[in-house]
């Protein structure tokens, strides 16, 4: 029996390609080209499955041009690169890669928060530039983390991981806002109190954004929200570009309306708003929150197992639109 044809849209661990080859006729991209939409469509034509990453947009146009496609397995927990409604309408299953990256990503959120509040990047640049000539009482004096108030916007699994680190590791008071309130046991475990978005913005010393991106979360943090934050506050975005209005944030940082920001994700990435590149009080990282070798391997394996489970017995591990399975 011939094996189903799948496209792996970006370069990935060679052992994952070998693993997939046991089950599929694999078309890979180990030179890691980033294909514009027209080229992605060309490559996807005739494929029954796709192993995608967060940068590969699957929308109605792609689906209409690739009628053989039955599943797209994203190697990311976020899936705003998928038009889920269009996929469901076309009978194409979507899967993502949750859970396996939760703790690694929460570690990174905390690392970025600490680097930002304690001005680690800024001070390192100063040192490397040969500008360190003497001790000064206020040199790179930042904000404390222990004992401060940690605000979390978006209290899914990663948000809860950050809350636990803050509450249990650093004695922080944790407040959060989310579409729905956690149940009492989870709140107690995370030592987190539910507040309105307004109270969150006004009260947090350090505000971490961990909510999913959708058109309704576009510019959740813009000029008006930044104006409500404390002038001493730190803002960290490990969620998605577009949740923060980057131009408004750069202006707020330049005018010291908030103290500092740490950003792992950007509007229109990998391009970064030029104003963010010139303000000193921001730590910038290239979307690496889940980037440890074991976690990236686990994410890739989960995406691969979603493809395998789907083609074997219609049992993908983490389907996003499972209604499609009933109709296939
Ligand atoms: C990374 O951003 C992910 O969604 O996994």
Residues 160 and 205 in one domain: yes
Residues 202 and 246 in one domain: yes
In the reported structure, the alpha carbon of residue 77 is separated from the centroid of ligand 1 by a whole-number distance in angstroms of 5
**∠ Cα 222 59 78 (to 5°):** 50
Contact 145, 113 (CB under 8 A): yes
Residue of 82, 107, 289, 291 with the most ligand 1 atoms within 8 Å of its CB, for mutation: 289
Q: Measuring from each residue's beta carbon to the nearest atom of ligand 1, which residues come in under 6 Å?
A: 54, 76-78, 101, 290
User: Whole-prediction pTM value?
Assistant: 0.96
Tokens of 144: 């404390």
- Closest residue by Cα to atom 3, ligand 1, is 76
Rounded CA separation 218/196 (Å): 19
Residues 182 and 260 in one domain: yes
In the reported structure, the alpha carbon of residue 154 is separated from the centroid of ligand 1 by a whole-number distance in angstroms of 14
Burial of 133 (0-12, 13-18, 19+ CB in 10 A): exposed
pLDDT for position 327: 76
Residues 146 and 247 in one domain: yes
pLDDT for position 72: 98
pLDDT for position 1: 76
In the reported structure, the alpha carbon of residue 75 is separated from the centroid of ligand 1 by a whole-number distance in angstroms of 8
Rounded CA separation 215/211 (Å): 12
DSSP E strands in 252-318: the ranges are 260-263, 282-284
pLDDT for position 328: 55
Which of 69, 74, 46 shows the shortest CA–CA distance to 306?
74
Q: Measuring CA to CA, how many Å separate 205 from each of 113, 153, 221, 252?
A: 11, 13, 16, 16
Average pLDDT by stretches of 10, the chain with 328 residues: 95 98 98 97 98 97 98 98 98 98 98 98 98 98 98 98 98 97 97 98 98 96 98 98 98 98 97 98 98 98 98 96 88
Q: Look at the chain and report how many structural domains it folds into.
A: 2
Residues 225 and 169 in one domain: yes
pLDDT for position 55: 94
Residues 132 and 73 in one domain: no
What's 150's domain CATH number? Answer: 3.40.50.720
H/E element holding 194? strand 192-194
pLDDT for position 121: 97
Residues 176 and 271 in one domain: yes
Residues 17 and 115 in one domain: no
- Closest residue by Cα to atom 5, ligand 1, is 76
Residue span of the structural domain in which 79 resides: 5-100+293-327
Residues 140 and 195 in one domain: yes
């Amino acid at each position: 029996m011939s094996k189903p044809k799948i496209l792996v849209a970006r370069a990935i661990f060679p052992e994952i390609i070998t693993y997939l080859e046991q089950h599929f006729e694999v078309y890979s991209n180990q030179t890691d080209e980033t294909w514009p939409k027209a080229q992605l469509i060309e490559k996807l034509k005739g494929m029954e499955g796709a192993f995608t990453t967060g940068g590969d947009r699957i929308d109605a146009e792609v689906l209409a041009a690739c009628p053989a496609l039955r599943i797209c397995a994203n190697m990311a927990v976020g899936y705003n690169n998928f038009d889920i409604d269009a996929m469901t309408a076309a009978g194409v299953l979507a899967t993502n890669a949750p859970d396996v990256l939760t703790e690694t990503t929460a570690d990174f959120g905390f690392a970025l928060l600490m680097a930002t509040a304690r001005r680690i990047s800024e001070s390192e640049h100063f040192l490397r530039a040969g500008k360190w000539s003497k001790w000064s009482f206020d040199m790179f004096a930042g904000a404390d983390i222990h004992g401060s108030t940690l605000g979390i916007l978006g209290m899914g699994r990663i948000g809860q991981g950050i809350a636990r680190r803050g509450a249990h590791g650093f004695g922080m008071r944790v407040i959060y806002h989310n579409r729905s309130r956690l149940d009492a046991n989870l709140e107690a475990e995370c030592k987190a109190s539910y507040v309105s978005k307004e109270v969150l913005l006004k009260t947090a010393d350090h505000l971490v954004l961990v909510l999913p991106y959708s058109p309704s979360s576009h510019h959740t943090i813009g000029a008006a929200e930044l104006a409500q934050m404390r002038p001493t506050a730190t803002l960290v975005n490990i969620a998605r570009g577009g949740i923060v209005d980057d131009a408004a944030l750069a202006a707020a940082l330049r005018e010291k309306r908030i103290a500092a920001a740490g950003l792992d994700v950007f509007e229109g990435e990998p391009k970064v708003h030029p104003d963010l590149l010139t303000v000193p009080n921001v730590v910038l990282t290239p979307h690496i929150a889940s980037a440890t070798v074991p976690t990236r391997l686990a994410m890739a394996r989960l995406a691969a197992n979603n493809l395998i489970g789907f083609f074997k017995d219609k049992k993908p591990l983490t389907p996003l639109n499972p209604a499609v399975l009933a109709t296939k």
